[in-house]
Amino acid sequence: MDYLFLYSLCLALGLAQTPALASEPMPSDPPLIPVEDFFRNPKLASFSISPDGKKLAFLKPWERRLNVYVRDIDTGEERRLTSATERDVADFFWKGGDRIAFSQDKGGDENFHVFLVGIGGGEPRELTPFDGVKTYVLDDLEEDPRHMLVSMNKNNPKVFDVYRCDLETGDLTQIAENPGNITGWMTDHKGRLRGAYETDGVNQSLLYRATEEEPFQKLLTTSFRDDFSPLMFSYDNKLLYIASNLGRDKTAIYTFDPDEFAKLPKKDIEPNFEARLSLVYEHPEVDVGRLVSSKKRKVITGVVYTTDKSRYHFFDEDRKKLQDVLEAKFPAYEVAVSDMDDDERRVIFATYSDKSRGVYYLYDRATEKLEKLAELAPWLKEEHMASMTPIQYKSRDGLTLHGYLTLPLEVEPKDLPMVVIPHGGPSTRDRWGFDSEAQFLANRGVAVLQVNFRGSTGYGKSFWEAGFKQWGRGMQNDITDGVEWLIGQGIADRKRAAIYGGSYGGYAALAGATFTPDLYACAVSYVGPSNLFTMLASIPPYWEPLRDMEYEMIGDPVKDKALLEEISPVFHADKINIPLLVAQGANDPRVKKAESDQIVEAVKKAGKDVVYLVKDNEGHGFHNEENRFDFYRAMEDFLRRHLSLRKN
């Protein structure tokens, strides 16, 4: 399950303009863009450069599905490598300079299988042909052309073991068995399995070994509430880079020497463990948890963190110079480097903004040649897109909440229909950038509010923990307070407010319809749980080691029975007196179809209006293009009827 500051709105949003009635388009109103244009597959996407810098691999639609293509940079010759027709290729990577590995699932079941195909063509070969088994590529073993490491729950659906896959013969050799409590594995830069993370449900331990011939030993045990996440080994394989909030609120980047710690008695390690760490970077306002590095020069070059937007801090002058050069070429856009060849000469980067879905470029650092590779959505014109502006407001109990506001173009920001979109997770956050849903709704004349309510990540430990056992309570109040704030600003029309979300956001939509029905004109729940008892009882088997953690964060079905009954919308469906749209994938492994079935049945039993859309070939969210079109067409029709949206 799966996202969101009060600047001077009139100044920041350019709202000082000739007044107009909110319900009538102004003469310069942008055209009503077809719903499909917002949710079409990209023209081209996910560019990756071969290690030798001579070829590009990317995703491109074929038969309405995203497939892998390869293009020669010098000649422009292009070849399609995959022929997926039922499901998009989920992701891919180069395995050496002449092969591509990629993954796919079936019907949204999230049991991803790994395939290998040569760039010269031919049929892809399935490397993990096991029904009902989920596979991760743990390490592509760049320096070993014949092998890679994969992690699978083949022996036990609840846990993942590690296998060495022989790419020539297809043989899978198990090199590590999961005793039942390991939730993650870690390799060093030579592909040696030297780290693991285990849990007892609420406490997690970092396991370490100096060589693969030694047994793992426990270095440190912390509560799951404390972040102590290994990010990577240093390039000499001696130090560990970690993201940690031990002894602090905001997560920061540190290093430590695991061999040194392994020699110390445990009683000497855990007290004031954070004092033994070497600080690399911290930020006073937000968590920092992502590194940027150079494989060629074997150094950490910087960190990435998110305040209102994504920000960089560089330690390395070469990498900073590259960023400065690219940003100087595109001063109006955010610039994100996504890939480099082994020599770090040819660079793939993307530009994006709140009005641009993104453009990929290839830059040659030696010749300074810049080549535009592809615009993800050339059919969407930036002059017709709306601005996404960071906002902040206070919750009823005094928390500062951050989020984003997208307002329709060329319409006075007064008494507008509005949709609040709580993010999924809920342990994630919304970010600034192009948002297809926000742009789609803004084009229909809607003000769109996205809120990083308590329980969202990125704002420190205490803000995250403030969401524990607050589904339908404090978390929901934060969303409600955001709607009331926007109404109080005079921007939103109290009679034309709606709530829509997916996953946890779908739950929040149902909770809004149930617990504050007088606030909303209608609600849309997309793969959202309605009964927290059945949701917790039906989690995927590989989430089983984390069940006790879920109980602490959401509620224990036995100890917190009254709480879960209080906050599960299905038990209060009689309170729903507003129109409801529910959408669900039949193969969803996270939020089972029964979650939507229950609320739809309960609402119908109460004699209320509900529209139910089910897709038999989808899982946790609709990935096939035609299914996305059906859903957003249905949502547009639903919102138009209940919020009186613009029609032209």
Supply the residues annotated as catalytic: 503, 588, 620
Report the alpha-carbon distance of residue 191 to residue 149 in Å, rounded: 8
Q: Note the helical H segments in 255-414.
A: 258-262, 266-269, 317-329
Measured CA to CA, the distance from residue 182 to residue 391 in angstroms comes to: 40
What does residue 576 show for φ and ψ, rounded to 5 degrees? -75, 115
| Helices 504-515, 474-488: inter-axial angle, 10-degree rounding | 70
Number of Cβ within a 10 Å radius of residue 332: 9
Lookup: tokens for 350 = 């993307």
Q: Is 105 within 8 Å of 131 (Cβ atoms)?
A: no
What is the DSSP secondary-structure string of 128-188?
---TT--EEEEE--TT-TTEEEEEE-SS-TTS-EEEEEETTT--EEEEE---S-EEEEEE-
Three-state DSSP at 249 gives: coil
In contact, 227 and 243? CB cutoff 8 Å = yes
Q: Which residues are registered as beta bridge partners of 57?
A: 48, 70
Please give the angle made by the CA atoms of 137, 335 and 305, to the nearest 5 degrees.
65
Question: What letter does residue 575 receive in the DSSP assignment?
Answer: G
504: which 2 tokens? Answer: 């946890």
Q: CB-based contacts of 378: which residues, under 8 Å, 6+ apart?
A: 43
Dihedral pair phi/psi, residue 178, rounded to 5°:
-80, 120
> Phi/psi of residue 225, each to 5°?
-70, -20
Which of helix, strand or coil describes residue 427?
coil
Answer whether 320's CB lies under 8 Å from 302's CB.
yes
- 39: nearest Cα among 643, 636, 580, 645: 636
Q: How far is CA 600 from CA 42, 281, 524, 570, in A?
A: 33, 49, 12, 9
* Distance between CA atoms of residues 133 and 620, nearest Å: 17
Query: What is the three-class DSSP state of 89?
Result: coil
With residue 534 as reference, give the H or E element that holds it: helix 532-537
C-alpha distances in angstroms, 148 versus 105, 113, 356, 401? Answer: 20, 14, 37, 44
Q: How many CB atoms lie within 10 A of CB 397?
A: 11
Q: In what order do the strands lie in the sheet with 288-294?
A: 288-294, 299-306, 310-314
